[in-house]
Structure 1
């Protein structure tokens, strides 16, 4: 015998090419002397990618000089484009299926898209090296076949997905297939062959009665088989086998756990049944042996016979909780959202309430620590050189002037009243300093909410974040709202049900304010002791009886950009009403918007608010304030003696006239003081301030860019110029007289058709101030004296005046043209009458008079517009 391992033969009538033949370099045509007859063998590997490798033929000369030609092919068992994937047999040939030849867990390799079949073949080739001996999987097939059966193996087709192999054998006509299967079964029962990877189960063999289908789909063995009943010939009829017939056919391959027939009312075709085997290996044997089996009439397959089509199917556990959850998303998703919300509330709400309470009481504020305050006092005295109070001294005159307002607020805070306190005044009038630094100076437990950063935040997440920071609400996951919205949208588009994971801006603002209200109530009751005289009364009665124990909520910049963020302001007003009605806290609103009663009246419709209106300082107080600011600044900037520098005291001789022209707005007075300190004279400083204000008015109200960006404005450029021009001539205007003017009564601008809304918008924009008498608007004036002088500068500009007057005249001309069109249309209707009745004569005269008057106005406007166009063309 040759020593080359590639030339080994299997004796006892079984001839086989070893697995290394596919890549054995020593394999080449040669002659040799066999000891037995050699049969034709075609060995196909499970994972070869090519449909047919180069056939190798070699002849080996025996000792008698004869030769036998052996043809070997290394073909794939996986179907190609020209292969159907079925195994066919000829006459006197049978196909056997050997189970438990390969590890069943190798199927996971087929799930890797990057793993090629050739890689698996190479791995099996290395695994099945000749050195393994009895561990060779194909060697199990050789050992399983009895030696006393006159059969010859002609082809072996390993089937890795099912962990077995198909073996095609040839035999004489005297051999019956039933005897062949019985002999194999008896042999394997008497001498079990157990592979190394499954020592508890031996190799089993069965006769393939149907037509097995070798496919490379991602369908892997399961313990459940779906048996479909299809006709023998296309277009024929198939019979649905009973459970008894199915049991008799499949029981030989293993223990059957259950048989489920197709429901009688089901319209699914072809008809089918489910067979649940106790073990996956038993289902594999049944599927590979009976797939394509033709059930005859004797076996219950009907007159024409019924073919079985078997496939693996995943078994769904009955009454599975997970299956119910997956199949009922419309119920499960809302319930899951509710449970998640409940868990979140139970865990995070106490934490957030604690942080809000700490924020109100300033528990973690370092400046309230006694040691820190002591150190700050000592270091400030050493480094400030006596200038620590200079900044506050300059406001003493202002606070003395407004002492009655401060005391009024403090008195209201000591009374038990379920009402708001509203401090209204233009920007720069000192509302915040008056309330926080003076009225609430000695007050503890003050919560300040600034609406400006909340309203100006970008997006809903920014609004929620800024609101949470203002009340100390943490932790807050503002970013999670966007993600929740996407998840909610995806679920709604797939299931048709809104899950409710995401929350609207309104609901989240309400949630933050509700938590803050609970924390405020805890703060109000934190000073209550068990040994108090009224310890036995309820919490509500205690809060009503002790208004001094309630915290104070200051809502600053209320109605800031109210046209853009109505939700925030409305929720603030409702929340404040809840606080004062339940005696939880005092609420003070600081606003510069004169229309605040509209919003607050919705929250408290049956209350008259406690109001304080802050105006400009009187000229005397304004002069003292500027002088005190100059003295306070001079203390820090005055050159020391011996420095060789002279300090020039500002000349305040012009201050009286300048302050009268500038007005008493605190921010304007501070601006004037800084300019005077910088070396400017009062007159020069005021002139520059007025000139700068005039430039701001032009940019905000008259330029085209402002006009194009007029979203949400309720007034037009022509209306603003009409007021500027009129106020430049008169310090005050009658409110109703302005409403009756053509510019306000008949505006052609879409957003400015309502004259009262236009005046209210201009007042909110701080161009004008509307003064009232007995609750009704009476007069209109400039928002501050400085604007009165700025209006004069704007009117004196010939180019600007000509441009704006031209725009006003064009609008008035449009109004008259529209009036003429209406008159002409009515006259046309009257002219269609067959006879002119005498009753229409007066109406026609009236319409003709209107027509004449409008045309006369248009002629005058045209003349004026011609003059203005000439000014614009000739003036720089």
Structure 2
């Protein structure tokens, strides 16, 4: 180790120890000692001077590794105790006048600074040797060890003392200890050997790096790696601020003798921006990992919560209306007042007879649906019928007494959404799916845009509406499985509890009966025979059976009545025989008495006669008593039980219980036309098919259009749908419905013949009949009510069929001429042949226009043998609406002119096509002349001329008709 020293605040290389003046510790060489003024003492008189120094005591507190380190807060409870123990221990050190001045905790580095004073001999007497700082440090360590060490915050004595050589920086910044430490050189660089000699004293040094090149104006530094964290904290607090002058490494070279101040700083192993820099520089690795973590987070945390919320929605766990306390409050508050939801007595007496009357034509549909719900699901029940035909009420009746959990999804509410987020939120609200983060999709779209710029491709985080709908419905499907499982467990537990209660009650009743009869036996209170160790239970001393009862058991009432009757008959028989014997002592064969059972072949003395009669009566009485006992028991059982109860869990078969546990999923207004129809319909169809095919739930799909079932058939191609058709009621049923409903409203229902004719104009659509009843209830005559419904239908038809604005008309999938052609034809006829309309003008095979009009409920298409057959009005009342609309001369004239113009354009196109082909035929006619000519060109020309003549004739008629119509428009 090369020597170094410090003179007047500077260090030079020398060969002895380190002394300290006011500026610090100095090294002296060859026994030369320096006083505070830097002069050598030449005499041998003992002199001393009081010095100050600083100790660093380590390992008394935990080293704080970061803001998250809770040990820092735990050690605060006994911190004063540790400081007091430290003062007490150091106060017992007796060397060189050692005296503690103050103690300053350095909690962040797990130690404390101790300022002390000691006496240093500047001129020792003969035989005395002054203590240099290393010797002073060693002496203090030795005495502290003899005193048992320094107490730490954990109660052990692992603390140690170290002499501070520099000027420690007592900062409180968020710079936490680390094994790696940077040593900055404020002056010339220090060699590795010198750094090792200085720092090895505090612990094992693992590595020292050479000073790294730095930009001009920055300090050069070396990085020192310690093997332990405690060694790094000791070095940092003892060496920081240490100033020295290093000699050249090669002897003989002359150094510049410039001092170098050492500044130590902990080096963070993980820089503040290191993680972020790595993440941003490796997007191809980070982005897939983030996608996986987000998916795992949703699957592990949110999906179970969502599944539970869906089950709560289906079962009604969170419905406060079903809480007992809410029911009790409502029953004792609101329901006590007559004006809250009270039915009229007339309505109660009617008992919904109107519904029953209109339900006669729907009994088959209801029975079909009940049969579907009473079997294990394998397909989908598709209920279709025009709007307002009573599909919902029929379903409500079928589910009324089924005691099933029902989940309803209304597509009409979903289709009202204006954005993708509205559709997702609507589906989540109807199914109970929560929490839902619709904003996350917008966020992922931004991430995709950013990833395209970073890695050249999308991350795949964003998803379409179809994918999000599938994710929601997948969770709902899993929740429905849980509903079935929980229902079975609940029913099984309820049945077990009921059985236990019945067994307990039966046991108590039996014990009570035995107590009353004195035959109850309890082993805990048995009689004891004998005394002492020879005693034994006196089983024979207790009454155990019915023979030991205190009093004879009373026979059943049926037996008593039979015995009394037998006794009376015996007495009567004796009296009758006595009278006969008085008249004729020897009974003859002709003796016959219907009151006495006759025994064949009996005869003899009076004694034998009486005995035979009595034996016959007794035998017959026994038979009657035996018959009475089970009969009486059976009658009593029927009286106590009353109506036949619902079968219990144990009485139901396994299949019945499985069916009762399955929930029912109802999808209403399926395939209602909106911009989301295609995506929503396909997703719901696939989901419903999965539920039915997997036996998870019964699925009932309700739609206004029969053709919507084709989408379900595509999702479930292997199995046919359970199709349930709902049609409008006939005239008699519709009339009965109106009469019964008016009776419920308290309106006089004696309808005249003219009023019945007016009601018949509405047909059997229940929505129109309900509207009529409400209008009549509010005081409107039947004739005016029907007229008002037709007038409203005209306004609705103008808007829905022709559009109020030009843009709205362009968005329709049919032309005004097509819909007017249908209206005009149906105003004259109740139905039209489907294919005749399809192939003729103005449709010319445009089947999409007809299907669109059917979806809009302007028309209805009936089928025969699975193919379209006829076209009818969308509602029965539309026939009269069509008539009213066609009878409007101005409207009819405008539409006829537009329809004729389209026909004229078609005729002109036909004429031009014929003209062009005739010109071509004129060129090839020479080739088809002569003896061997076939005359094909002439036949074709004749056909074209005939066709052109027909088109021309039609065109002239249409032009003339338009001229007449236009004259009519000139009238005011």
Partners of 1:429 and 1:616 within 8 A in 2: yes
2:949 match: 852
1:391-470 residue pairs with structure 2 within 5 A?
A: 393=352, 394-470=354-430
1:788-803 residue pairs with structure 2 within 5 A?
A: 788-803=879-894
TM-score (norm 2): 0.54
Matched, 1:339 2:293: yes
Partners of 1:419 and 1:610 within 8 A in 2: yes
1:254-653 residue pairs with structure 2 within 5 A?
A: 254-255=220-221, 323-373=277-327, 375-377=329-331, 379-380=334-335, 382-384=337-339, 386-387=343-344, 390=348, 393=352, 394-529=354-489, 546-561=658-673, 564-634=676-746
Partners of 1:420 and 1:587 within 8 A in 2: yes
> Equivalent residue of 2:294, what SS?
helix
Matched, 1:660 2:760: yes
Matched, 1:683 2:783: yes
1:43-442 residue pairs with structure 2 within 5 A?
A: 204=186, 254-255=220-221, 323-373=277-327, 375-377=329-331, 379-380=334-335, 382-384=337-339, 386-387=343-344, 390=348, 393=352, 394-442=354-402
RMSD: 4.0
Q: How many residues align?
A: 569
**Offset from partner CA, 1:759-810 (integer Å, 9 cap, x none):** 2211221111211111122121212221111111122211111111111111
Matched, 1:825 2:889: no
Partners of 1:616 and 1:663 within 8 A in 2: yes
Moved more, 582-591 or 547-556: 547-556
Q: Which 5+ residue runs of structure 1 have no aligned equivalent? A: 1-190, 208-242, 259-277, 279-313, 536-540, 636-647, 746-753
Partners of 1:193 and 1:202 within 8 A in 2: no
**TM-aligned CA distance change 1:472 to 1:841, over 3 Å:** same
Partners of 2:668 and 2:702 within 8 A in 1: yes
1:85 match: none
Q: 1:530 and 1:382 mapped to 2: Cα distance?
A: 36
Q: 2:169 and 2:782 mapped to 1: Cα distance?
A: 107
Partners of 2:406 and 2:664 within 8 A in 1: yes
Moved more, 545-554 or 427-436: 545-554
What displacement does 1:676 show?
Answer: 1.2
**Offset from partner CA, 1:402-436 (integer Å, 9 cap, x none):** 33322321121111241111111111112112102
1:755 to 846, 852, 875: 846
TM-score (norm 1): 0.59
**TM-aligned CA distance change 1:689 to 1:625, over 3 Å:** same
Matched, 1:871 2:968: yes
> Equivalent residue of 1:574, what SS?
helix
**TM-aligned CA distance change 1:652 to 1:248, over 3 Å:** closer
Q: 1:316 and 1:368 mapped to 2: Cα distance?
A: 57
Q: 1:335 and 1:788 mapped to 2: Cα distance?
A: 64
Q: 2:723 and 2:294 mapped to 1: Cα distance?
A: 45
2:871 match: 780
Q: 2:808 and 2:731 mapped to 1: Cα distance?
A: 38
Q: 1:730 and 1:869 mapped to 2: Cα distance?
A: 27
What displacement does 1:524 show?
Answer: 1.4
2:821 match: 722
**TM-aligned CA distance change 1:205 to 1:831, over 3 Å:** farther
Partners of 1:325 and 1:332 within 8 A in 2: yes
What displacement does 1:703 show?
Answer: 4.5
Partners of 1:662 and 1:785 within 8 A in 2: yes
**Offset from partner CA, 1:229-265 (integer Å, 9 cap, x none):** xxxxxxxxxxxxxx9999999999845669xxxxxxx
Matched, 1:731 2:686: no
1:79 match: none
1:18 match: none
Q: 1:197 and 1:520 mapped to 2: Cα distance?
A: 62
1:52 match: none
**TM-aligned CA distance change 1:564 to 1:502, over 3 Å:** closer
**TM-aligned CA distance change 1:591 to 1:667, over 3 Å:** same
> Equivalent residue of 1:662, what SS?
coil
**TM-aligned CA distance change 1:425 to 1:377, over 3 Å:** farther
1:699 match: 799
**TM-aligned CA distance change 1:254 to 1:802, over 3 Å:** closer
1:713 to 800, 812, 829: 812
Q: 2:218 and 2:963 mapped to 1: Cα distance?
A: 112
Q: Which 5+ residue runs of structure 2 have no aligned equivalent? A: 1-164, 173-181, 190-208, 225-235, 237-267, 497-652, 930-935
2:895 to 804, 818, 836: 804
Partners of 2:382 and 2:709 within 8 A in 1: no
**TM-aligned CA distance change 1:441 to 1:659, over 3 Å:** farther
Q: 1:489 and 1:202 mapped to 2: Cα distance?
A: 46
Q: 1:692 and 1:252 mapped to 2: Cα distance?
A: 89
> Equivalent residue of 1:449, what SS?
strand
Partners of 2:310 and 2:431 within 8 A in 1: yes
**TM-aligned CA distance change 1:206 to 1:693, over 3 Å:** same
**TM-aligned CA distance change 1:862 to 1:665, over 3 Å:** same
